[in-house]
Structure 1
């Protein structure tokens, strides 16, 4: 049996795909750099869309500048979205939000990897000392 999706979920996915294509192909603002659309959450009445984004450069000043550029471009991006989504009666207002989860996930992964590497190094160091003592 085919898996059923709600209309809101389908709209979320469609808007996410279209926004990614718009940012990649049609927006030429140098302030944006490499922008990734992580997720889109459309309100139940389809009036608003919360767009979660991340940037390649995650320096706080750069993020602030890129978010300002996105907020400034939001009406234009919405008009491009409207021209691409002709099957929708109304296009939701876009509200861009910086998504820290990806950056935090990478930071946590590197911290775990560092801790594991330190544990392995300690185990090898203590393991070789113990085997040296056993040979005496």
Structure 2
């Protein structure tokens, strides 16, 4: 069983290498259909399994195509990791879509919409706050 520090180092190394593969080595057109980035890698404690979270930017069709392309490239990615990363056994690779960036964008747009819909008199400036809520002794 590997230590937590070793597991996190291996996860970061796999993240870096897979990101490089996505940019330079994987030639599948389906992977290029959407903008893909590796957001996180979770490696099991025994270093036998690596779950690679990817964020895909684009339409729903592009996401489906990209995930299919990544699934078909799993063997290639594992073989390349075996050559690039010196481990006793190369971990099994699983690609999983990470919707966190989309969720964050949606939350930000909702917050902006709420702020935009708020009446102008509710938008207090810091100076207004001090004048309204602090008495003379606290200023």
TM-score (norm: length of structure 2): 0.79
- Name the CA distance, whole Å, in 2 between partners of 1:10 and 1:23: 20
Aligned length: 118
In structure 1, the partner of 2:137 is none
- Name the CA distance, whole Å, in 2 between partners of 1:25 and 1:47: 26
SS of the residue 1:36 aligns to? strand
- Name the CA distance, whole Å, in 2 between partners of 1:97 and 1:117: 35
The runs of 5 or more residues in structure 2 that have no matched partner are: 122-139
In structure 2, the partner of 1:123 is 120
- Is the Cα contact below 8 Å between 1:16 and 1:37 reproduced in 2? yes
In structure 1, the partner of 2:36 is 35
- Is the Cα contact below 8 Å between 1:22 and 1:81 reproduced in 2? no
In structure 2, the partner of 1:131 is none
- Name the CA distance, whole Å, in 2 between partners of 1:22 and 1:89: 21
- Name the CA distance, whole Å, in 2 between partners of 1:24 and 1:56: 15
The two structures, once aligned, show a CA RMSD in angstroms of 1.7
In structure 2, the partner of 1:67 is 67
SS of the residue 1:30 aligns to? coil
The runs of 5 or more residues in structure 1 that have no matched partner are: 125-136
- Name the CA distance, whole Å, in 2 between partners of 1:60 and 1:94: 23
- Is the Cα contact below 8 Å between 1:53 and 1:98 reproduced in 2? yes
- Is the Cα contact below 8 Å between 2:52 and 2:94 reproduced in 1? yes
